[in-house]
Amino acid sequence: TEFYLKYKNYSYLHCEWKLKEEVEDKRFDQKLKRYIAKNTNMIGELIFPEDEIFNPDFVEVDRVLDVMVNEDKETGKSTRHFLVKWCSLAYEDSTWESEDDIDKIKIEFESRCKFRPPSKKLRPHKDMWKRMSEDNTVFQNNNQLRDYQFEGLNWLLFNWYNKRNCILADEMGLGKTIQSITFLQKIFDHGIWGPFLVVAPLSTIANWQREFESWTTINAVVYHGSQTSRDMLHTYEWFCRDENVSTLIPGCYKVHAVITTYEMIVLDSSHLRDVDWRCLIIDEAHR
């Protein structure tokens, strides 16, 4: 009998089938008993998964967090390994992977965000506001707004230029999230690189992240999870590093937008309140 194994501190990329006698783990019998007990039904038959053994998202690179260069003592060649956060897994489940296993686009995106000067640009004067033309206004992946969404975007920008808070109260399904995200993209294009804060219900934060990735060039992260995951986010996602990649630069944010929940705002208020947020968006603000 072969067993499909997931190794501790290794990603799901390295799962493999092994015979019992090939497993070098003294606690294997104990772990096997737990697996059988957990996956046995009421009549004592072992249940086998009909579809994938694990979520295929677990082998999709979500974010590249860091890079480490090692030199092979025998050949003298340098090899790069990347710290990878995987889709649908927490930051604390991140693993180091070889360069060959990582999407080059993800590596390039992380590199662009790692080093940049802090944005000192101010909000433009209200007299500088001009209504945008819908013609040729295209966002990431050639996405375009519908007529009424474009009207909403112009209205959001008008209020922003006039330093006036506002409420977007369209009915559900009309694209309030997309209007809000494209509004942030336009601020970003002006040279104000955040950080922006989006506070939303837990059930919607994954959708917020997807829309950021689909519509914008903004580096958006989800601020949620265990203390360990949040500590990793602070270490690898929060601040840019100097040219030697050794020192974090306070006030120079690597992240452009932070998506979090009401509960996280309360729990980590001591940390989040120290950030000079350039814009705040609250989803379901009536809460």
106 and 142 both lie in a single domain: no
73 and 49 both lie in a single domain: no
pLDDT at 239: 84
257 and 212 both lie in a single domain: yes
Nearest partner of 278 among 250, 245, 255, judged by Cα:
255
Residue 275 in any domain: the answer is yes
* Distance in angstroms between the alpha carbons of the first and the last residue of the chain: 54
Lowest mean pLDDT among 137-141, 182-186, 261-265: 137-141
Q: Give the global pTM.
A: 0.83
Over its C-alpha atoms, the chain yields an Rg (Å, rounded) of: 23
Q: Name which residue leads in pLDDT, 223 or 41.
A: 223
d(CA 215, CA 113): 17
Residue 134 in any domain: the answer is yes
What are the tens digits of pLDDT across the range 29-68?
788 777 777 766 644 555 565 567 888 999 998 988 888 8
87 and 174 both lie in a single domain: no
92 and 10 both lie in a single domain: no
What are the tens digits of pLDDT across the range 88-146?
999 999 999 988 877 776 667 666 666 566 667 788 888 888 888 887 789 999 999 99
Q: Is the pLDDT of residue 6 over 90?
A: no
Residue 82 in any domain: the answer is yes
Cα 287 from chain centre: 25
- Number of compact structural domains in the chain: 3
Query: What CATH number did the domain enclosing 273 receive?
Result: 3.40.50.10810
Model confidence band, residue 257 (pLDDT cutoffs 50, 70, 90): very high
Query: What CATH number did the domain enclosing 100 receive?
Result: 2.40.50.40
Nearest partner of 218 among 242, 196, 246, judged by Cα:
196
Interior/surface letters 98-128, b for 16+ CB within 10 angstroms, e for the rest: eeeebeeebbeebeebbeeeebeeeeeeeee
Instruction: State both tokens at 157.
Output: 């920008």
At 195, is the secondary structure helix, strand, or coil?
Answer: coil
* 249 Cβ neighbours under 8 A, 6+ residues apart: 118, 239, 240, 241, 242
2 and 137 both lie in a single domain: no
| CA-to-CA dists, residue 83 to 53, 80, 90, angstroms | 24, 10, 13
What is 20-59 written as a DSSP string? GGG---TTHHHHHHHHHHHTB-TTSPBP--SS-SS-GGGG
**Amino acid identity, residue 26?**
K
Domain that holds residue 256: 126-282
pLDDT at 94: 96
Lowest mean pLDDT among 20-24, 122-126, 142-146, 210-214: 20-24
167 and 260 both lie in a single domain: yes
Cα 242 from chain centre: 22
What is 77-124 written as a DSSP string? -EEEEEEEEETTS-GGG-EEEEGGGS-HHHHHHHHHHHS-PPP-PPPP
Tell me what percent of the residues of the chain surpass a pLDDT of 70.
87
